Structure 1
Amino acid sequence: MRFDLVLMHPPSIYDFRKRDIVAGPISELVPSTGVFEMYPIGFLAMLSYLNTRGYRARIDNIALKMLSSKRYSFNEEILKLDTEYIGIDLHWLPHVHGALSLARIIKEERPDIKVMLGGFSATYYATEIMSKIKDVDLVIRGDTTEKPMEMVISGKKMEDIPNTIYRSEGKVKDNGFTFTPDMDYQEFDYSQIIKSSIKTMDISGHLPYCDWMKEPVAMVLSTHGCAFSCGICGGSYFAFKNFYHRNGPIYRSSKRIVDDIMRINDDLKIPVFVAGDLLMRSEKEIDYIFDNLKKEGMDVPLLMEVFVPHPRERIKKLMRATSDVSMEISPDSSNDNIRFRNGRPYKNRELEKFVSDFMDLGGKKIDVYFMVGLSGQTREDVLDDVKYSKHLMESNKSDKRLFIFTSPLSPFLDPGSMSFETPSKGYKLRFRTLLEHYDALDKGRTWEDYLNYETNWMDRQTIVETTYDAIDMLLREKEELGYIDKEEYERSHHVLETSRLAVKLSRAGDYGMMSKGEALIRNCSGKYTVLKKQIMWGSPSMGEKKLIFMIYRYLHSSRK
């Protein structure tokens, strides 16, 4: 079948199946594996926009195909592919190795195909890409690129296409970055994935992540950008204003949000995750959204992220639509001063009231996330987060609807974030350019090698060791309070300590405990690791299966 465009999603590390690596706990808080096989929601928007206008586009999740079979060969697939254009996402930076490797192989095997990159990281590094990466023909900048993409594949003159930087006659030409539309024209039609899977007879190439058939979640994107400037976030207000030509967040209309949710509700009957904090909207918009969801009979689980704690009355309005609601909030630190320093403007007492109000009003599940590697944060501060987590669980009577997690800021501090761009925030960058990050993933063996930063308060080794200690302490607290049993703790503890030992030995040049990529392939059909299974999805003894949030940092534009 001939395609106008093939959208390819790369693994984080292209040759992970052959490499000896220690990925560590980097991916433990997301549905995907350490290969980060979940493609960005922009792929769905692009597929919906183009295919409903008569073009032939498809998604090809190369990362997932590699995970699904050790026999899969990208080189063989590219030789058979019939298309003029391939678009590779380089949205969040952990995909730099996979994205550039795919581009290189495409040009080696099929020099007739034009290779495009898009996404936040491609936008940020567009000039470097076009000046140094000869395997890439053009970059389309921005967070809403459907219309420029249509102009490219329909054969418009390149000099007339906004947001593109491209190579012509051996020279790099830049059309500037001027196209910044609203987002209501975007479509997120999951039926297009189903139709494309049938037409191509390729299911795995279209699945969002490894276990999607067993644990499906659909996303509704309510905003591009964010009202906050959290220091570590490449999707923050600071990043959008300085690098993505947005003077503030842009919002999908309330009507479109209701339509998006109900389309999933009626057609797919699977849980819906809403990216972007709906409870930050005006009272009029909140009433419209939740009153209409109730009126239209929404009956699938609703998963929501919130950026700040909200008053009890706003939670009540949400509950009018459905009581089958789960939430996630990321205070990052239990220290008010550290939280404020990093851009989250609320206090512990506000967080505590929000958590208790949500559960008191009948919420199904709430996840609270803490982070290791923040500006102003010491090892002692991280361990205090664990103590605070115990306090939060105990103050809510060890209610099993409350789940608390901690994870490292890894592998990279986001380019474009305030902390990446502002030395006074206390971060010491080890890599800054795109190719420096590529080299780190190409040559590194452990997640300690991949970290692109240290801080004035913790060096890399301290960040790594503190992460392992904090996760283990939190697991012990969960065992003590009855969230997990002793056997589950011991299995998870073994995973942590095995990973920790492999990192320690790697520092000394001993690579005998490295995990082969084949382990990820074997785990693709399960829950990937004992740690992920027990911490994230909950104990089988808890009865009803828990749903995880699709919070993967590169999937959507607002990472809060």
Structure 2
Amino acid sequence: MKSLLVHTPQLCHNKDTGEFSSNINFCAMGLYSLAKEIEKEGIESEIIHLGIEKYLNPKFLLSEYINEQKIKFVAFSLHWHPQSYDVIEMAKIVKEKCPQTFITLGGFTASYFAQEIMENYPFIDSIIKGEGEIPIRELTKKIANNDENLSTVPNLFWRKNREIVHNSNTFVATDEDLNSFTFFDIKKMKNFNSYAKIPFHLEYNKKNQLNNQPMSSQGICLGRGCTGNCTWCGGGHYATQKVTGRNFISYRNPDEIIKEIKMLKSECKIENFRFAFDPHPKNRACLMTLLEKIEKEFEGNLTTMFTLNGLPDKNFLEAYSKAFSKNSVISISPEFYDEKLRKKHKTFYYSNSELEEILEYMDKLEIHSELYFSTLPITTDQDNKDSDRYGKLLQRKYKCVEKYYLIPITYEPAAPWTINPEKFGINFVPKKFAEYRMNTTNVAQSFENPVFLATKEL
């Protein structure tokens, strides 16, 4: 049996120019580990990025590919909610044109809305709610053996005699589990060399977007979980516990992380890496161990963008400066100029004076940084102007601040203020999945839209 894991970007259509483009072009990090777990059952697995396939061949049809390859199992990744419309459209088309194919969904958004999705979209056969490596391995084994009793598959919503069943057994990956997973394999993704060059925003009518670009940076899984509950965040401790059942932090072994980085450098020629794991800013012992081992292995020649949840302290910065190259960047998110807003909405609070003390030390160590400020639905124009002015001030004042950003934040599924708006004084009615789905660009038939198919070959 052959199985397929599909990343579906958010497809956009400019009706004035007739041009198509896509956002959400980076795959969820877990797709590779899912594909490798399926492989352990002797089942062939492949990852497809619909945007890449469509850019390389405008006539590509997922449904045709599934039939040609005799694929029996398709898993759509629905991690970020802007994907919602396109994932549902593509799942519907696949079921219509490939009725014998078993379709499952996974990812944070699919997990959070699992019951509603199963109730309203009968062409979806199951949803893996939460972490998926062991569940998808068990599920594909069942499908390969034509076993219709899915009651033993962890984390699964499925259909039994037209009834929706949610299995009670739960899988949440431990440290040992994470160290047994393979988080990257170039051979698993169709046309990986093109994916490695994909821009944040892909325009299908423009040439050479995947040909002349350098290899993009690659995200590295350091662990799972968070101890924070920032009001707007759909991936904090409370949200993760609600969606996946995770109530603890799991760390990968530093030796496994270094092994993966070395493979990416040698086999894929990737030189820039993204780290975004800082679950406990007051206790970074595990991260410090990782930095020490990276320094020993790469001798300060590894380049990374390291996103931190909290403010780095001087010990962390000293270890960072030894571990990584001078081209590396630390991403820090003060969120607001107003300290009262920061204290109310951000779990890992620090004052402006504490921030500036650290930026001054980063100047001394010659560590580059990027700062991220936020506009929220509840912040005033004056709040946003103050944050913008403060970002400009910090960029002028400290050499280490290469860039600052002022980014709008929306109501994410599973975020604390989305679930309990009254607690935060917000006049907001929690959205259903259908509302998130219809709040995107809505290109009918998505990547099999007839107008899109008529786009001339590049």
TM range (shorter): 0.7 to 0.9
Conserved? CA contact 2:107–2:130, under 8 Å: yes
Instruction: Show the counterpart of 2:205.
Output: none
2:84 is equivalent to residue 65 of structure 1: no
Supply the AA of the counterpart residue of 2:405.
F
Instruction: Show the counterpart of 2:365.
Output: 361
**Distance in 2 between residues matched to 1:160 and 1:150, nearest whole Å:** 12
RMSD, aligned α-carbons = 3.1
Supply the AA of the counterpart residue of 1:318.
Y
Q: 1:161 aligns with which of 153, 159, 169?
A: 153
Conserved? CA contact 1:372–1:407, under 8 Å: yes
Q: How does the TM-score come out when normalised to structure 1? A: 0.69
DSSP-derived class of the 1:86 partner: strand
Supply the AA of the counterpart residue of 1:44.
Y
Aligned pairs (5 A) from 1:466-477? none
Instruction: Show the counterpart of 2:101.
Output: 113
Aligned pairs (5 A) from 1:160-309? 160-176=152-168, 178-186=170-178, 187-190=181-184, 192-193=185-186, 195-196=187-188, 202-203=191-192, 207=196, 209-210=198-199, 214-269=214-269, 270-277=271-278, 280=281, 282=283, 284-297=285-298, 299-309=301-311
Cα displacement string for residues 446-504 of structure 1 (whole angstroms, at most 9, x for unaligned residues): xxxxxxxxxxxxxxxxxxxxxxxxxxxxxxxxxxxxxxxxxxxxxxxxxxxxxxxxxxx
Instruction: Show the counterpart of 2:351.
Output: 347
Instruction: Show the counterpart of 2:137.
Output: 150
Q: 2:37 aligns with which of 33, 49, 63?
A: 49
Q: Residues 73 and 304 from structure 1, CA distance in 2 versus in 1: closer, same or farther, beyond 3 angstroms? A: same
Conserved? CA contact 2:81–2:437, under 8 Å: no
2:101 is equivalent to residue 100 of structure 1: no
Conserved? CA contact 1:273–1:302, under 8 Å: yes
Conserved? CA contact 2:335–2:373, under 8 Å: yes
**Distance in 1 between residues matched to 2:365 and 2:52, nearest whole Å:** 39
Q: 1:332 aligns with which of 323, 332, 335?
A: 335
Q: Which runs of 5+ in 2 are unaligned?
A: 200-208, 445-450
Conserved? CA contact 1:141–1:177, under 8 Å: no
Q: 1:318 aligns with which of 314, 317, 320?
A: 320
**Distance in 2 between residues matched to 1:352 and 1:225, nearest whole Å:** 28
Instruction: Show the counterpart of 2:448.
Output: none
Conserved? CA contact 2:227–2:279, under 8 Å: no
DSSP-derived class of the 2:46 partner: strand
Cα displacement string for residues 339-398 of structure 1 (whole angstroms, at most 9, x for unaligned residues): 1111241111122222232232022x31111111254x21111011111112112211xx
Conserved? CA contact 1:39–1:208, under 8 Å: no
Cα displacement string for residues 90-117 of structure 1 (whole angstroms, at most 9, x for unaligned residues): 1121111011011100011111101000
Supply the AA of the counterpart residue of 2:168.
G
Aligned pairs (5 A) from 1:362-401? 362-363=366-367, 365-373=368-376, 375=378, 377-396=379-398, 399=399
Alpha-carbon deviation of 1:282? 4.7
DSSP-derived class of the 1:272 partner: strand
**Distance in 2 between residues matched to 1:444 and 1:285, nearest whole Å:** 45
**Distance in 1 between residues matched to 2:17 and 2:232, nearest whole Å:** 26
Cα displacement string for residues 495-526 of structure 1 (whole angstroms, at most 9, x for unaligned residues): xxxxxxxxxxxxxxxxxxxxxx98xx99xx9x
Alpha-carbon deviation of 1:271? 1.1
**Distance in 2 between residues matched to 1:152 and 1:208, nearest whole Å:** 32
Q: Residues 247 and 65 from structure 1, CA distance in 2 versus in 1: closer, same or farther, beyond 3 angstroms? A: same
Instruction: Show the counterpart of 1:514.
Output: none
Conserved? CA contact 1:162–1:179, under 8 Å: yes
Alpha-carbon deviation of 1:273? 1.1
Cα displacement string for residues 1-20 of structure 1 (whole angstroms, at most 9, x for unaligned residues): x61x200011224xx34756
Q: Residues 118 and 8 from structure 1, CA distance in 2 versus in 1: closer, same or farther, beyond 3 angstroms? A: same
Q: Residues 301 and 188 from structure 1, CA distance in 2 versus in 1: closer, same or farther, beyond 3 angstroms? A: farther
Aligned pair count reads: 425
Q: 2:71 aligns with which of 65, 73, 83?
A: 83
Q: Residues 215 and 151 from structure 1, CA distance in 2 versus in 1: closer, same or farther, beyond 3 angstroms? A: same
Supply the AA of the counterpart residue of 1:331.
P
Conserved? CA contact 1:64–1:204, under 8 Å: no
Alpha-carbon deviation of 1:160? 1.1
**Distance in 1 between residues matched to 2:168 and 2:18, nearest whole Å:** 40
Instruction: Show the counterpart of 1:40.
Output: 28
Conserved? CA contact 1:126–1:139, under 8 Å: yes
Alpha-carbon deviation of 1:418? 0.4
**Distance in 1 between residues matched to 2:37 and 2:197, nearest whole Å:** 18
Q: Which runs of 5+ in 1 are unaligned?
A: 24-32, 446-516, 526-560
Conserved? CA contact 1:65–1:205, under 8 Å: no
Q: How does the TM-score come out when normalised to structure 2? A: 0.83
- Identity in percent: 20
Supply the AA of the counterpart residue of 1:381.
D
Supply the AA of the counterpart residue of 2:333.
S
Alpha-carbon deviation of 1:125? 0.8
**Distance in 2 between residues matched to 1:300 and 1:88, nearest whole Å:** 34
